[in-house]
Amino acid sequence: MNLRKIILKELLERKKQFLTSFIAILLGIIVIVAVKSVSSSSEKAVAIQLDNLGANILVLPQTTTIDNYYAADINAPEMPEDYVERIAGSTIQGVDNMSPKLSARIKVEDYPFVLTGILPKNELASKPIWQTAGFTDPGLQVACNPNPIINRSRGYKDPKLQRMAIDSLGAYDCLAGSDVASKLSLKEGSGIKIKGTELKVARLLPQTGTVDDGRIFVHLHTAQKILGKGKVINAIEIMGCCSAISEGLLGNLRNILPDTKITTINHIVQTQVRTNKTMEKFSLIFLIIIILVGGISIGNYMWSNVEERKREIGSLLAIGASPGDIYYIFIGKALILGLTGGIAGYLLGSLAGMILGPQIAGVKVLPIPLLFIWAVVIAVGVSVAASYFPARKAAKLDPALILQEI
Amino acid sequence: MIKIENLSKIYNSKGNSVLALSEVSLSIEKGEFVSIVGPSGSGKTTLLLCMGGLIHPSRGKVTIEGTSIYDLDVKNRAIFRLRNLGFVFQTFNLIPYLTASENVQIPLALAGIFDGGQAERATELLEKLRLADRLDHKPRELSIGQQQRVAIARALANNPKIILADEPTGNLDPDMTRETVSYLKLLNQTGITVVMVTHNPGAAEYSQRTLRLVEGRLRG
């Protein structure tokens, strides 16, 4: 016999009362874990989607439209190249990669193409599809870490921001999009003349199904020379962390470059981030509910338990139990309630997330081990906090008043 | 052994003061069997609980085996009770969800005697009280008399020097009353000091000395 055994025996004796509080805390934890699992998996899914899309933020001159940009209008407004340095030199968090571009429509052998000046390694880093096609530099690094799994799988070693442009594309080398290659019958090593400048095709790009297929990529500074422009660009494509975008990356960029137009390339970010934020809010609401409803339920249960066991407490004190022993009995009971509620809530919540995730958010949901700690900490915390005052009352009960049988 | 000096206890409730004990002084020697009798509300139980360190008196001093028990803090008073005193109550106050054996083991557990010694000691005591076949029965499965014997076994678990019994025969029929008091007498003959509060004159006859309490004062 020991105090722990007394706690367990009492729980088994009055299991119906225990079950009510247990269910209250269990349901709360199930909902929190399920919502959190789904929202977390959804965030990961967004991160993967964005990563596959490449850049997700566009910095354009103020007067440019998205259509101008995609059409590579020769008269499209330009902006200074040193805007790239301005972002790079800032303390903004969440800029994963920047690819400054200068694009213009050109004709080669009467075929209309788009000549695009790029800073090559930055460009490659922002285009996973190119990397998978064999363009990857193993030294490539990304800035933030929207999804550690993706970065690990890519072999990125250092999560630090690589802000500085790296120039490794030869001054007279070019990369030809798949449409360009097929129309001009280009092979690697072929020559191509653009506006009187002889270029060598260093690589043929794989088909992407995007406007890139009709582009000829050259070094940015070469493009500036061919097009007779100075140190200007007409776009900066930025790969930003999904979470950083939702936390105000666009606003921060606008502060640095007030005379530009900054927009996200896709709507997925906003829609999905909105969904994730809603789920986050739900998590918070359920957390408050569990604290209120679960806490009140457990508190009520403990108060009535103390009332019901007054005579027992008096007997134990008379026998020689100290107030600390009585305190231990009630807080120990709260610990059991919290632990069992937290563990069962985590297991059932994870299961609910796995079942509901594909239906609600269209994502595959796997159990998140970190949530186990949170579930147990919340359940135990609520249970112990709600039981503190009843336990204190029990420990301070006057045995004489309870035992007096006059 | 037990020395009570000028003990007074005033209960304050809802603005009213009730004098439960007034300037009670007495001395009980080691190995004595003392009965405290008196009408209802005369302060008998209050006096017993004061002796047991369960009610802090308004005035006065209770010394047991040379220790002024109300000079001890709450924790040490609990330890003192655990080592020196055994309580027997009118309504037994057994823990309803524990078996007879487990009820007897509680004081042993509180004293830090864990598995091994506990069960043997409980069995030994319950066998002596003719409850060998009721070790695993819960209080609700026992007769009133059996419950009182379990309560006595529990009081004896830690070999107390003093047994404080509050109306131990209050709920018992005459046969069981005789049996219970006889057992207390038997314990007294082994050297244990017994102080019994009772309103049953027949039970009081078993004691060596009877103290009469009327309106919180000792008479006669």
- State the pLDDT at residue A170: 82
Let me know: does B87 contact B164? Beta carbons within 8 Å. yes
As a whole number of angstroms, the distance between CA A36 and CA A27 comes to: 14
* Token pair for B125: 């005591």
**Range name among A267-276, B56-65, B178-187 with the lowest pLDDT average:** A267-276
CB-based contacts of A320, cutoff 8 Å, min separation 6: B78, B79, B81, B82, B83, B85, B107, B110, B111, B158
The pLDDT-based confidence of B171 (bands split at 50, 70, 90) is: confident
DSSP lists the bridge partners of residue A318 as none
In chain B, whose CA is at the least distance from the CA of A317?
Answer: B78
Residue B84's nearest CA partner among B158, B30, B168, B33 is: B158
As a whole number of angstroms, the distance between CA B89 and CA B195 comes to: 12
Query: Could you tell me the CA-to-CA distances from A169 to A127, A220, A277, A380, B206 in Å, in that order?
Result: 16, 10, 42, 59, 112
Query: Could you tell me the CA-to-CA distances from B154 to A322, B55, B78 in Å, in that order?
Result: 17, 21, 16
Enter the DSSP assignment of B211: E
Residues of A in contact with B151 (CB under 8 A): none
Residue B22's nearest CA partner among B1, B2, B38 is: B38
Measured between CB atoms, does B99 come within 8 Å of chain A?
A: no
Taking the CA of residue A379 and the nearest CA in chain B, the distance in Å comes to 27
- State the pLDDT at residue A151: 44
pTM, two decimals, is 0.65
The pLDDT-based confidence of B93 (bands split at 50, 70, 90) is: confident
What's the mean pLDDT when you consider all of chain B?
A: 89
Give the residue-averaged pLDDT of B41-53: 90
Give the residue-averaged pLDDT of B118-136: 90
Residue B139 has pLDDT above 90, yes or no: yes
As a whole number of angstroms, the distance between CA A346 and CA A32 comes to: 9
Interface of B with A in 162-201 (CB under 8 A): 166-167, 170
Measured between CB atoms, does B55 come within 8 Å of chain A?
A: yes
* Token pair for A338: 């919290």
* Token pair for A223: 């493009």
A320, A323, A406 member nearest B110 (Cβ) = A320
Give the residue-averaged pLDDT of B120-136: 90
- State the pLDDT at residue A150: 43
**What are B189-203's pLDDT values in tens digits?**
999 999 999 988 888
- State the pLDDT at residue A158: 37
- State the pLDDT at residue A140: 37
Which residues in chain A land under pLDDT 70?
A: 46-55, 65-75, 121-168, 209-210, 242-247, 265-273, 401-406
**Contact check, Cβ <8 Å, A6/B95:** yes
* Token pair for B93: 């106050």
Q: What percent of chain B has pLDDT above 70?
A: 99
Taking the CA of residue A309 and the nearest CA in chain B, the distance in Å comes to 9
How many helices and strands (H and E) does chain B possess?
A: 7, 10
Neighbours of A190 (CB within 10 A): 15
ipTM associated with this complex = 0.85
B132 vs A46, higher pLDDT: B132
Instruction: Output Rg (C-alpha) for chain A, integer angstroms.
Output: 32
Place of tokens 């503190």: A388
Give the residue-averaged pLDDT of B173-201: 90
**Contact check, Cβ <8 Å, A318/B118:** no
**Contact check, Cβ <8 Å, B109/A2:** yes
- State the pLDDT at residue A205: 83
**Range name among A76-80, A236-240, B96-100, B149-153 with the lowest pLDDT average:** A236-240
